[in-house]
Structure 1
Amino acid sequence: MPDLVLRGVSQPGDTTPSDLHISDGIITQIVPRTTTTHAPTVDLDGRTVIPGLWDEHVHMTQWALAGARIDLSAAASAREALEFVRAQVAATARPTPLIGVRFRDAIWADAPTLRGLDEVTQGHPTALISHDLHCVWLNSAAAERFNVHVDATGLLREQAAFDLTSALGQLPDAEVDALATRAGARAAARGVVGVVDFEMTWNRDVWQRRIAAGFDALRIEAGVYLADLDRAIGERMRTGQPIADTRDLLTVGPLKLLIDGSLNTRTAFCVDEYPLGGHGVLTVSEDELTDILLTAREVGLFPAVHAIGDAANSVALNAFARADFAPGRFDPAAVDGRIGQARATDRASLNERRAAAGRIEHAQFLQPTDFARFARLGVIASVQPEHALDDRDTVELNWPGGANRVFALRSLLDAGATLAFGSDAPVAPLDPFTAMSAASCRARSDGREPWRPDQVITRSQALSASARGRTRLRTGDVADIAVLDGDPFTVCNATFERMPVAATLLAGRATHGAALLAP
């Protein structure tokens, strides 16, 4: 007898409801509604069920912390950002650094200055983190407190910014873990069952601690950064490897390496110069990247290469080609035979990886000849569609001649590439429906015209990219399920962008909407 039957459910596009049987966390049957059963039953009254959603690129601790920080995304200038900060200074206890997030100086007509931030903060340590995490604007008091040097702009960029952002998050573990637990619940409420966490730290141990303390809202694939590669090799870590005593929630994620910067900081490595000069930065040469990819293959770590500029993406693809990463070369199950037996929750992901050489994270700006190379080399385009709408003005200012090659999702699919969707939270909200809507509409419900609408993809394609290649539940799947109050293929655009999620199940266990799912 099944543990639970979800009665009267539909899958996207269905015209007649079905009953979905779950036993031991697995979908054992999907049968016509008329079938009778004596098992515990929940009548879902025609609601739509879809495979549980994944966010393929988050910075989970930063996303958790951002909810308690000043949101500067509405600031249209440095002057406006300073006024936001001025209003917060009096309300923040003096010993506590004042931290803001999500400013976008790339579209400001005026520029950040150290003097301006000093004037409004009056000696209160203040650090403002840009929306892409690649830049921090800080005042003299914060520079002194954290022992960093800033020039007249008050800006730190790239590695110096990453280091300071990490230092700003050094709060007691219990405090940060509580914020992460709340962030996990918010994600589950949006139909999310798992994330690939690229928090810039030795992330495995963090999640072991959180799960031991009770975190159970999501599956976590904990990324490994290049700086920790030797440690990961020494501990014989392999991508896809389940971590013991984590209740089947934690596995080793990809090897993450950054080879260029970002658009907002104008450090993404590009073929053409930026309007203010320079081509951005390439932090890892093609030769070095090739060697790293060869090492990753040898030790069983699936590579995820951060590349945003068109020149950086070409370098990454060249390195994949030189390392002879043909489809089928990476097989985590062959590296660690326990994966197939110990965790069946991610078969689609494993199958995808067996057919892939690696991933390029962002793949934001591409040369025309590079679209087809993603498919030919078996490289997954791990993209964040909401960034297209966040960055549209920045793109038009900084990459005007190549804007038709930015976030070109339709071109990638037409060339045969595989897409994997994420948010890069806190850069964008951890909400797959926000991403899927951006990909299928190229617009928000804010009245602005769609941006580059020739690059829209279908909702079915967007769902596939958010659910690890699936759009429908099947018998034999792990019961990672999102229950929706509407068919995602037929609701209007405004509803799709904010799709109501009635419940989420992880291996048949409710992580959201428990009251609805109670038999």
Structure 2
Amino acid sequence: MIDPVTDPASDDAVLLRAARVDGRIVDIAVRAGRIDAMHPHGQPAPTRAPVVDLGGRPVVPGLWDNHVHFDQWAAARRRLDLAGARSAREAAELVAARVRDEPPGELVVGYGFRDALWPDRPHRDLLDAVTPPGVPVVLVAGDLHCCWINGAAAARYGIADHPTGLVRELEWHPIMKDVRQAQDRQLARWADDAARAAAARGVVGIVDFEAPWQLDAWAERVAGGLDVLRVVASVWPERIDDPIERGLRTGDAVPGTRGLVTMGPLKVVTDGSLNTRTAYCHDPYPGLAGTEHPCGMLLVPPEELVPLLDRATRAGLDVAVHAIGDRANTLTLDAFAATGARGRIEHAQLVTEPDVARFAELGVVASVQPRHAIDDRDVADRYWAGRTARAFPFRRLLDAGVELVLGSDAPVAPLDPWVGIAAAVHRSGDDRPPWHPEQHITLDEALAASSGPDGPLRPGRRADLVVLDADLPTDPRAVATLPVAATMLGGRWTVAPA
């Protein structure tokens, strides 16, 4: 048992005794929210402070999830779970069990279906057959790039003549906005629960890509007591005028949040996703020849992307550009080169060899989500056949000198960095051998890519740290469920030792 001699949450100093850091047993003195000193265990304490005896437990830097859609994650934890559906008919059966007693007009929301490998296709008729009249149903895809609706929902959104009920990409964004507004009453409670659940897994910070701009919402949450995470809040193009008019630059702290909420990058989505077959690629998708978008969908072409990145850069905003397909990555790197923009490419799931080198040359960070490599391996094998040697190329990017940061894309994957770390190291989520194991990274590399902007534990660093309740395992598959004993944020416990 960890023995907290005195509760440090109300004090500005604490001594963490007998912590194991990089294999050494040390005492960590924390003062005013930072690591004041680290010295071999047993030496006289540098200051008089309350003591927490860690008993040799490992201590690692606090973890960051570098890509989260937080409100959607908070809501998805309460929605009808469709992740286990193996066909459109199975998904409809899950809906049928959920809606039997729903009153007319009450919106029913499901989340998590992945239809790329289903033997049948989603269609509004399947949902209409199992839903009572007047009950709108919106099922959100696991990749957040499309939704599947029934007739009542189609009428609600003014698309009663939609032929299939499967609404993709930009067409589904207004539906997503309505779904969020319909659940606003519960969202404050859900957000609090989700943030505290993340802290319990060692999370100290997130980069929030919820659209269109959540900075003020997070400031209100912190003022209301939700103070267990650091939040970097991005802005989307439709709201870019707001931070510019307020003089906010990336990295600026929001007054009244004790430094917990900061201005983030401009987020731009240039293409779709693999599961929806809308990621924009150099080569066509099998079976899509002759269709309107055989190579996927380019949502923001260069003539729009370059001015956006240029404006953001001149205003002091970094950028975070969603690019999944290899052609989307090429065009995005072109835009970085043309504008001198600073920032990241989000996802970078399929990358040509020359573009790997350009990431490094341009100083563009690769913000990747390792769990996607596990969830999408079968879809990639089918739709990116012959190209998967350069899919999710974590090792190749690192070896080229590219900075990697890891995230979840929650709710697409759980807001739990240990899940992503395990996927990055092992590249398999079941009993099959690792998928393209040549692209794996080491546990130390994955931890470093999940440890946020402060780097290794050292004096002067912010006291954001995690106490583990077990040693780091040699089997990478066990990393996903590694137990966390306590989490400290800026010198105070967000999850106190028990």
TM-score range, shorter chain: over 0.9
| CA–CA separation in structure 2 for the residues paired with 1:259 and 1:434 | 27
Structure 1 pair 149/243, CA: closer, same or farther in 2 (3 Å)?
farther
Separation in 1, partners of 2:278, 2:301: 15
SS at match of 2:198: helix
Mapped partners of 2:489, 2:462: distance in 1:
8
> Secondary structure of 1:389's partner?
helix
User: Does 2:150 align with 1:165?
Assistant: no
- For the residues of structure 2 that align with 1:398 and 1:360, how far apart are their CA atoms? 22
Report the alpha carbon displacement of residue 246 of structure 1 after superposing the two structures with TM.
1.3
- Counterpart CA distance in 2 for 1:470 and 1:407 is 26
> Are residue 69 (structure 1) and residue 79 (structure 2) matched?
yes
Q: Distance in 1 between matches of 2:89 and 2:488?
A: 46
Code of the residue aligned with 1:456 in structure 2: it is H
State the partner residue of 1:387: 372
**2:326 pairs with 1:316:** no
Give unpaired runs (5+ residues) of structure 2: 1-10, 289-293
User: C-alpha separation between the residues in 1 aligned to 2:464 and 2:381?
Assistant: 40
3-state DSSP of counterpart to 2:227: coil
Aligned counterpart, 1:359: 344
Question: How far is the alpha carbon of 1:294 from its aligned partner?
Answer: 1.6
Q: Is the 8 A contact 1:2 1:21 kept in 2?
A: no
CA contact (8 A) 2:469 2:484 kept: yes
Report what 1:31 is aligned to: 39
Match 1:461 to one of 406, 420, 445? 445
Is residue 305 of structure 2 the alignment partner of residue 289 of structure 1?
yes
Q: Match for residue 337 of structure 1?
A: none
Any residues of structure 2 matched to 1:268-307 within 5 Å, and which? 268-277=279-288, 278-307=294-323
State yes or no: 1:480 paired with 2:464: yes
Structural RMSD (CA): 1.6
For the residues of structure 2 that align with 1:286 and 1:137, how far apart are their CA atoms?
30
- Determine the structure 1 residue equivalent to 2:52: 42
Residue matched to 1:218:
229
* Matched position secondary structure for 1:121: coil
Q: Give the secondary-structure state (helix, strand or coil) at the position aligned to 1:45.
A: coil
Correspondence list, 1:424-439, <5 A: 424-439=409-424
Q: For 1:237, what is the secondary structure of its paired residue?
A: coil
Partner SS state of residue 206, structure 1 = helix
Cα 1:404–1:91 change in 2 (3 A) is farther
Equivalent position of 2:3 in the other structure: none
Other structure's SS at 2:435 match: coil
Q: How does 1:228-377 map to 2 (within 5 A)?
A: 228-277=239-288, 278-325=294-341, 357-377=342-362
Q: Which region of structure 1 is more displaced relative to structure 2, 460-469 or 140-149?
A: 140-149
Alpha-carbon shift at residue 174 of structure 1 (Å): 5.1
Q: C-alpha separation between the residues in 2 aligned to 1:2 and 1:185?
A: 22
Q: Distance in 2 between matches of 1:420 and 1:167?
A: 32
Choose the corresponding residue for 2:140, options 129, 132, 150: 129
Q: Distance in 1 between matches of 2:249 and 2:196?
A: 28
Answering whether residue 30 of structure 2 is matched by residue 22 of structure 1, we say yes
Distance in 2 (CA, whole Å) between partners of 1:271 and 1:443 is: 27
CA separation of 1:149 and 1:237: change in aligned 2, threshold 3 A: farther
- Structure 1 residues 332-373: Cα deviation after superposition (integer angstroms, max 9, x where no partner): xxxxxxxxxxxxxxxxxxxxxxxxx21001111111211111
Counterparts of 1:361 and 1:91, CA distance in 2: 41
* TM-score, length of structure 1 as denominator length: 0.90
Q: How big is the shift at 1:486? A: 2.6
Q: In the alignment, what sits opposite 2:431?
A: 447
Contact 1:50–1:471 (CA under 8 A) maintained in structure 2: no
Aligned partner (choices 8, 13, 36) of residue 3 of structure 1: 13
- Provide the identity percentage: 47
- Give the TM-score taking structure 2 as reference length: 0.93
State the alpha-carbon separation in 1 of the partners of residues 217 and 364 from structure 2: 29
**What one-letter code is carried by the residue in structure 1 that aligns with 2:371?**
E
Moved over 6 A (4+): none
- Of 281-290 and 499-508, the range deviating more from structure 2: 281-290
Amino acid at match of 2:353: P
